[in-house]
Chain A
């Protein structure tokens, strides 16, 4: 099974580069505590999933399409990959123009989208044809900017149209709550309304949460975007690397089957333990019960970071369903009791479908035991509520609308998008 990654915008490209580096480092890791035949199975499956090796046996090429409206970031990411010297981006798999989208969703969606459609689809088709068995598409983008959000939403729509049966998963990054870009709430609302229709699953990561992980657990004195990107790449790697469930290998369709059983509930959040800095890696061990309890507590407290919970008013976090990916020793015979409390799941979900377990005995990223929880739960509701509130506040005074109208996005489009988002928030709040 192969996954084609489409990196859109500055954020998407930066995360994508980190993701491939993380995966490649994991593949070439030495201490894995499994037999060499198991290791070979794992590494070949992982290589097959993310890289191509047609031209050069020692320098695999990432199965990726890089899209951006300006060239600075794409060229930088390619040169960083070349500098590392372990893998590289395929030549010609990049699409970029000269002038950016100016943080304007309408510019990305209505102007750059149709312009880029042919070329980008051609690049995607090329990657898809190079796969033996296409597992699905992973789109990396941000919600605040113009290219990532607008062009990303458009490309997702194109993918849905042209690859009607393929699985499309979007990894989106929500900006800091106090603002990176002034119109970020508009862009978020417009993007999510389109993704909800076109994508199969949307994994929402927040800069606030990632920042907290870096600042508290990983003890970075000065948190930079590169730190946050590597945390997110780390989590995505833990999710997408080969794993097994009930004796057979896991695919993207297993993930969607486990998590997105109802079309109204597509937004997922990711949490990963243990969160240790590289310095303390050799000093920490953990047992499965402790890891699972921590995950369960983080899930309850809607927190991506493993500390700093606000114990003020813990409302029970209700989930539709969860997926647990455990990597390390004895992971297949795991006792998931902490996460299977019937009361934290919705009543209309049968008990056997609430929690799925994937596992692999190989160590991931030097961690003896690690667990990732991908959950379809009400944690996203608070983020969306806040965003919709702020966006509506701006919309009611008609602020910035002329900037969007300039590219053809009228008030009706806004109102429709608000309606879709309100519906999503309502659904999640009433779980």
Chain B
């Protein structure tokens, strides 16, 4: 029974975080028909009893208590008000309470120094308070998941300041996972190279593992999915199963809401985070925790940049021959087009690699594919 705290910083971080909480709620709703507050849901959500004025938390107990009011274990930080106020007016306003938000008015102006040095010093105590409050609500805190961008001012500056703060103040929770959105070649912020380099140094020193994500790669993945959506569109009905694409907004809901521009790309990253933590929340025959991910993939302390790849990107509504599709999935997850940064993993040397498999996949299928793939990849 472990918990994780999500800390989202900056415009990018908060928008991704928004998608993450939306999809997390939908995933738990699909899995938890009886509306009980069990250990899976307690990983990311508190069960607050709002009858008491002091917002007492209801513990999991034996896992059969009803859900009163879910509150996310999150800290939202942004130095300008636009994004946070949109969140607080939107459908997710119920799961955040105002004590978890740290905000200012004017923003960082795409300047790492403003974010890190100026706002860091000014808001240090407030941020520490929010994090400490969230940490005290946890029985057994396992890791911090930070989400922010590298190119901007708040995300990269204040984000890395928070990372350093966590390392100093919570040394026993050594799992600090950072999902960092790196700028692509076609980027609209002029100072993003400087911001990224300054932030990169902090990430190398303070983070346990960094999962880099690149806008260009996400864009290409979304394009691929929408091409597949419209491919058979003239004659047949939509070949993709509705809601199964990793860039989709809504699993199993009928109507389509209006989508904001970066929503599809943010959904991909949100799905990545959900899948990574799925084994810590739900049970399986071979469980892997976030501890184990860090332990197995990071052979040397400073070499902790993990390339994420996901497959399949969508599932077809006509269920074609399963075994071939399954093997194709294993091939795809190593291919260039399925990585969330623009890199071809097969061209490089692998230090370590982890396959997190979710769903109805048999052990023998996995082993068969591992036998095959071991020879395609180059190891030292």
Enumerate chain A interface residues (CB-CB to B < 8 A). Answer: 10, 14, 70-73, 76, 97-104, 146, 176, 178-183, 211, 215, 221-226, 394, 397-400, 402-403, 406
| Cα–Cα distance between A183 and B291 once the two chains are bound (Å) | 13
State the Cβ distance, A407 to closest chain B Cβ, in Å: 11
| Cα–Cα distance between A403 and B371 once the two chains are bound (Å) | 28
- Judged by DSSP, the binding face of A is loop
Query: Are B295 and A102 in contact, CB atoms less than 8 angstroms apart?
Result: yes
Query: Are B287 and A225 in contact, CB atoms less than 8 angstroms apart?
Result: no
| Cα–Cα distance between A146 and B301 once the two chains are bound (Å) | 19
What are 8 A-B pairs at a CB distance below 8 A?
A: A10-B286, A99-B291, A100-B289, A100-B291, A146-B292, A181-B292, A182-B354, A211-B367
Q: Which residues of B contact A211 (CB under 8 A)?
A: 367
| Cα–Cα distance between A377 and B1 once the two chains are bound (Å) | 43
State the Cβ distance, A403 to closest chain B Cβ, in Å: 5
| Cα–Cα distance between A98 and B43 once the two chains are bound (Å) | 12
Query: Are A402 and B291 in contact, CB atoms less than 8 angstroms apart?
Result: no
B113 contacts A by Cβ under 8 Å: no
Query: Are B174 and A99 in contact, CB atoms less than 8 angstroms apart?
Result: no
| Cα–Cα distance between A406 and B140 once the two chains are bound (Å) | 19
B352 contacts A by Cβ under 8 Å: yes
Which residue of B is nearest A101, CB measured?
A: B291
B362 contacts A by Cβ under 8 Å: yes
State the Cβ distance, B176 to closest chain A Cβ, in Å: 14
**0 or 1 for each of B267-281: is its CB under 8 Å from A? (1 = yes):** 000000000000000
Query: Are A71 and B285 in contact, CB atoms less than 8 angstroms apart?
Result: no
Which residue of A is nearest B1, CB measured?
A: A98
Query: Are A180 and B2 in contact, CB atoms less than 8 angstroms apart?
Result: no
Query: Are A102 and B364 in contact, CB atoms less than 8 angstroms apart?
Result: no
Q: Which residues of B contact A182 (CB under 8 A)?
A: 296-297, 352, 354
State the Cβ distance, A206 to closest chain B Cβ, in Å: 14
Known: A102-B295, A103-B295, A180-B286. A222 touches B365 (CB 8 A): yes
- 8 closest A-B pairs by CB: A102-B291, A98-B140, A222-B362, A399-B299, A182-B296, A72-B283, A103-B292, A223-B364
Q: Which residues of B contact A180 (CB under 8 A)?
A: 286
State the Cβ distance, A176 to closest chain B Cβ, in Å: 7
Known: A72-B283, A178-B370, A400-B299. A100 touches B364 (CB 8 A): no
Greatest chain B CB density within 10 A among A73, A102, A222 is at: A102
| Cα–Cα distance between A99 and B285 once the two chains are bound (Å) | 17
Q: Which residues of A contact B367 (CB under 8 A)?
A: 176, 178, 211
Query: Are A104 and B283 in contact, CB atoms less than 8 angstroms apart?
Result: no
| Cα–Cα distance between A222 and B374 once the two chains are bound (Å) | 21
| Cα–Cα distance between A161 and B13 once the two chains are bound (Å) | 53
State the Cβ distance, B150 to closest chain A Cβ, in Å: 25
| Cα–Cα distance between A225 and B367 once the two chains are bound (Å) | 12
B363 contacts A by Cβ under 8 Å: yes
| Cα–Cα distance between A176 and B295 once the two chains are bound (Å) | 19
Query: Are B363 and A222 in contact, CB atoms less than 8 angstroms apart?
Result: yes
Query: Are A103 and B291 in contact, CB atoms less than 8 angstroms apart?
Result: yes
Q: Which residues of B contact A76 (CB under 8 A)?
A: 283
Enumerate chain B interface residues (CB-CB to A < 8 A). Answer: 1-2, 39, 139-140, 142, 174, 283, 285-287, 289, 291-292, 294-301, 351-352, 354, 362-365, 367, 370-371, 374, 380
State the Cβ distance, B290 to closest chain A Cβ, in Å: 8
Q: Which residues of B contact A176 (CB under 8 A)?
A: 367
| Cα–Cα distance between A179 and B377 once the two chains are bound (Å) | 15
Q: Which residues of A contact B1 (CB under 8 A)?
A: 70-71, 98
| Cα–Cα distance between A353 and B374 once the two chains are bound (Å) | 46
Q: Which residues of A contact B371 (CB under 8 A)?
A: 178
State the Cβ distance, B35 to closest chain A Cβ, in Å: 21
| Cα–Cα distance between A104 and B175 once the two chains are bound (Å) | 14
Q: Which residues of A contact B2 (CB under 8 A)?
A: 70, 98-99
| Cα–Cα distance between A400 and B286 once the two chains are bound (Å) | 22
| Cα–Cα distance between A104 and B352 once the two chains are bound (Å) | 16
Q: Which of A10, A181, A224 has a CB less than 8 Å from the CB of B362? A: A224
State the Cβ distance, A211 to closest chain B Cβ, in Å: 7
Query: Are B285 and A225 in contact, CB atoms less than 8 angstroms apart?
Result: yes
Which residue of B is nearest A225, CB measured?
A: B285
State the Cβ distance, B364 to closest chain A Cβ, in Å: 5
> 9 new A-B pairs (CB below 8 Å) besides A99-B2, A179-B370, A180-B286?
A70-B287, A73-B287, A99-B140, A100-B292, A146-B292, A183-B295, A223-B364, A224-B363, A398-B300
Q: Which residues of B contact A103 (CB under 8 A)?
A: 291-292, 295-296
| Cα–Cα distance between A239 and B140 once the two chains are bound (Å) | 41
State the Cβ distance, B9 to closest chain A Cβ, in Å: 26
State the Cβ distance, A144 to closest chain B Cβ, in Å: 10
Q: Which residues of B contact A406 (CB under 8 A)?
A: 174
State the Cβ distance, A70 to closest chain B Cβ, in Å: 8
State the Cβ distance, B175 to closest chain A Cβ, in Å: 9
Q: Which residues of A contact B352 (CB under 8 A)?
A: 182
Which residue of A is nearest B40, CB measured?
A: A72
Which residue of B is nearest A180, CB measured?
A: B286
| Cα–Cα distance between A98 and B42 once the two chains are bound (Å) | 13
Which residue of B is nearest A182, CB measured?
A: B296
| Cα–Cα distance between A183 and B294 once the two chains are bound (Å) | 12
| Cα–Cα distance between A98 and B283 once the two chains are bound (Å) | 14
Known: A399-B300, A403-B298. A225 touches B140 (CB 8 A): no
| Cα–Cα distance between A400 and B298 once the two chains are bound (Å) | 7
Q: Which residues of B contact A73 (CB under 8 A)?
A: 283, 287
State the Cβ distance, A341 to closest chain B Cβ, in Å: 36
| Cα–Cα distance between A399 and B302 once the two chains are bound (Å) | 12
Query: Are A99 and B142 in contact, CB atoms less than 8 angstroms apart?
Result: yes
Query: Are B285 and A102 in contact, CB atoms less than 8 angstroms apart?
Result: no
Greatest chain B CB density within 10 A among A103, A146, A224 is at: A103
Q: Which residues of B contact A397 (CB under 8 A)?
A: 380
Q: Which residues of A contact B142 (CB under 8 A)?
A: 99
Q: Which residues of B contact A226 (CB under 8 A)?
A: 285
| Cα–Cα distance between A178 and B372 once the two chains are bound (Å) | 11
Q: Which residues of A contact B300 (CB under 8 A)?
A: 398-399, 402
Known: A72-B283, A224-B285, A225-B286. A403 touches B364 (CB 8 A): no
Greatest chain A CB density within 10 A among B174, B299, B351, B374 is at: B299
Query: Are B297 and A98 in contact, CB atoms less than 8 angstroms apart?
Result: no
Query: Are A98 and B139 in contact, CB atoms less than 8 angstroms apart?
Result: yes
Known: A76-B283, A99-B2. A225 touches B363 (CB 8 A): yes
Which residue of A is nearest B289, CB measured?
A: A100
Known: A76-B283, A224-B363. A178 touches B374 (CB 8 A): yes
